[in-house]
């Protein structure tokens, strides 16, 4: 068990990508604490082991500090924080008000910083690490989710700065995600045929599963990544097929 005895916090760890990350850490032997505003529909578990749950609003800095102190007090240590909580509705920038866009930035950039600051004293003692969950939306134009893309770009930059400031005791890295198949995938991609059609645009031929993200997070938290800090690891299946490849195929067949 690669992370046997380690203690990990996953924010937004009750469903989707976050639950997949939590399950991967449980399978690797870690004790896992998840937090979110709402409890999970069913316990987050793997290999007969279960993550603990705490209801938490990451915008409340005092409550966040109390949460990390409680986790470290319960287990005696904290080895890794995975800043997964985030997301956004689809909304063109000019169609939403400033307050709504600010809330998106707060959730996807300010909240991870708040959690990281609260976890830092404990991570420093354990010589642990932080894993930020970023997005390809932060690396390219993001129409319809502009505030989200801007926040994710900022999150990658924040991680690199933290990696320098908090070295050598704490490593900080980012996972930059493409499309992931979760229980809410149908809201974005339609029915099963639509999901498969979108997956076919990815060079590896499918959308990521939450476990794909979780396994990458386990790697970054493990001793196998002991000299990896300030890195952004792409977990996007090769990205998107360039449009000219499809055009060339059509021209060739024609």
Question: 59's torsion region: left (phi>0), alpha (psi -120 to 50) or beta?
Answer: alpha
Q: Above pLDDT 70, what percent of the chain?
A: 93
Confidence tier at 191 by pLDDT (50, 70, 90)? confident
- Between 124 and 200, name the one with better pLDDT: 124
The pLDDT of residue 155 is 98
Q: 77-111, pLDDT tens digit by residue?
A: 999 999 999 999 888 999 888 999 999 999 999 99
- What mean pLDDT do residues 45-69 have? 97
Segment (H or E) for 8: strand 7-11
Measured distance CA(185)–CA(56) in Å, rounded: 25
- Of 105, 152, 156, 131, which Cα lies nearest the Cα of 9? 131
* pLDDT for residue 189 is more than 90: no
Confidence tier at 136 by pLDDT (50, 70, 90)? very high
Task: Tell me the DSSP string of 32-58.
Answer: EEEEESS--SS--EETTEE-EEEE--T
- What mean pLDDT do residues 200-206 have? 92
The pLDDT of residue 247 is 52
- What mean pLDDT do residues 247-251 have? 49
- How crowded is residue 86: how many other Cβ atoms within 10 Å of its Cβ? 24
The pLDDT of residue 250 is 44
Q: Above pLDDT 90, what percent of the chain?
A: 81
- What mean pLDDT do residues 227-245 have? 88
Confidence tier at 253 by pLDDT (50, 70, 90)? low
> What's the first-to-final CA gap in the chain, in angstroms?
55
Look-up of token digits 């966040």: 64
Task: Tell me the DSSP string of 109-139.
Answer: IIHHHHHHHHHHHHHHHHT-EEEEEEEGGGT
- What mean pLDDT do residues 217-234 have? 98
User: 7-253: CATH homologous superfamily?
Assistant: NAD(P)-binding Rossmann-like Domain (3.40.50.720)
Give the mean pLDDT of the chain.
93
The pLDDT of residue 196 is 87
| Displacement of CA 68 from its chain's centroid (Å) | 18
Pairing of strands 80-83, 129-135: parallel
Confidence tier at 195 by pLDDT (50, 70, 90)? confident
Measured distance CA(89)–CA(213) in Å, rounded: 21
- What mean pLDDT do residues 41-65 have? 96
- How crowded is residue 84: how many other Cβ atoms within 10 Å of its Cβ? 29
Measured distance CA(64)–CA(102) in Å, rounded: 20
Look-up of token digits 């609003």: 57
Residues constituting the chain: 254
């Amino acid at each position: 068990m690669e992370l046997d005895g380690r203690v990990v916090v996953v924010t937004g760890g009750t469903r989707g990508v976050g639950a997949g990350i939590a399950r991967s850490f449980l399978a690797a032997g870690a004790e896992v604490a998840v937090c979110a505003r709402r409890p999970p529909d069913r316990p987050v578990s793997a290999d007969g082991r279960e993550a603990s749950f705490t209801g938490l609003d990451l915008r409340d800095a005092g409550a966040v500090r109390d949460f990390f102190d409680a986790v470290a007090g319960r287990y005696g240590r904290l080895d890794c924080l995975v800043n997964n909580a985030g997301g956004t509705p689809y909304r063109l920038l000019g169609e939403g008000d400033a307050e709504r866009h600010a809330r998106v930035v707060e959730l996807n950039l300010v909240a991870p910083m708040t959690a990281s600051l609260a976890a830092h004293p404990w991570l420093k003692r354990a010589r642990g690490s932080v894993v930020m969950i970023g997005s390809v939306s932060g690396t390219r134009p993001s129409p319809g989710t502009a505030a989200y893309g801007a926040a994710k770009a900022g999150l990658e930059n924040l991680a690199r700065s933290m990696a320098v400031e908090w070295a050598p005791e704490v490593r900080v890295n980012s996972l930059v995600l493409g499309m992931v198949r979760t229980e809410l995938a149908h809201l974005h991609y339609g029915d099963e045929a639509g999901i498969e059609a979108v997956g076919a645009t990815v060079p590896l031929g499918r959308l990521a599963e939450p476990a794909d993200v979780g396994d990458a997070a386990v790697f970054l938290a493990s001793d196998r990544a002991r000299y990896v800090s300030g890195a952004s690891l792409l977990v996007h299946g090769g990205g998107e097929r360039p449009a000219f490849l499809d055009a060339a195929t059509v021209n060739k067949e024609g």
